[in-house]
Structure 1
Amino acid sequence: MKKVFLILAFMLGATSMNAQEKKAAAKEPVIVEVACGQCMFGMKEIKKGCDLAAMVDGKPYFVEGTKLDDHGDAHAADGFCSAVRKAEVVGELKNNVFVVTEFKLLPRK
């Protein structure tokens, strides 16, 4: 009986994802804009300091799975606190956070 309940709970949880979460949970890489959430996306009310964020469907989400300083000097002219960049990512939205399993910063054009 416990197994049946767990299977039903899992199925209900999987079907309750909203469209935005389903799109962001793709296993294929997608291109998103990334930058400092506070400096470039105006997310000052959520956290203090500088943190990496990604724009998904026009809304910024803080990123887990990689950090701002993992990709160079955030305060350089082309750093995340000074410029919005593009990245190829694989990840999903979980509890209003974009959790990435793959992150490849794309070169500037």
Structure 2
Amino acid sequence: MKNGILAVLLGLLSYQCSTPNTRQTVEASCGQCQFGLKTQKGCDLAIRFEGKAYFVKGVHIDDFGDAHDPDKGFCNSIRTATVRGNLKDRIFEVTDFELKE
């Protein structure tokens, strides 16, 4: 029974993440420095929602200022963003990315 419920929830999450124009509030930060992602080298923008982190395609980590700024840089802090896009091959392809202050 638990496995069936988990499968339904994962299916709904996958559908929501792959449906274009679905706005979601997520955590945004450096995938390597803050979210522990290891599949890319250097510092790259990533989002985290539902406990899972994904690298982002369509915006760059430095599009929102210096990633290494001690106060608001993505390598030193986790920020909130509203995004729109879809998940493809474990990369979140952004069509809209709005950083919240």
TM-score by structure 2 length?
A: 0.82
Unaligned runs of 5+ residues in structure 1 are 1-17
Match of 1:72 in 2: 65
Amino acid at match of 1:65: G
> Which runs of structure 1 show a deviation greater than 3 angstroms over 4 or more consecutive aligned residues?
none
Q: Does the CA contact (< 8 Å) of 1:87 and 1:106 recur in 2?
A: yes
Higher helix share: 1
Identity of aligned residues (%): 45
Shift of 1:28: 3.3
Structure 2, unpaired ranges of 5+: 1-10
Name which of 56, 59, 67 aligns with 2:52.
59
Separation (CA, whole Å) in 1 of partners of 2:29 and 2:98: 13
2:42, 2:12 → 1: CA distance?
A: 31
Q: What number of residue pairs does the alignment pair up?
A: 90
Aligned to 1:98: 92
Pick the structure with greater CA Rg.
Answer: 1
Q: Which residue of 1 aligns with 2:7?
A: none
| RMSD, aligned CA | 1.5
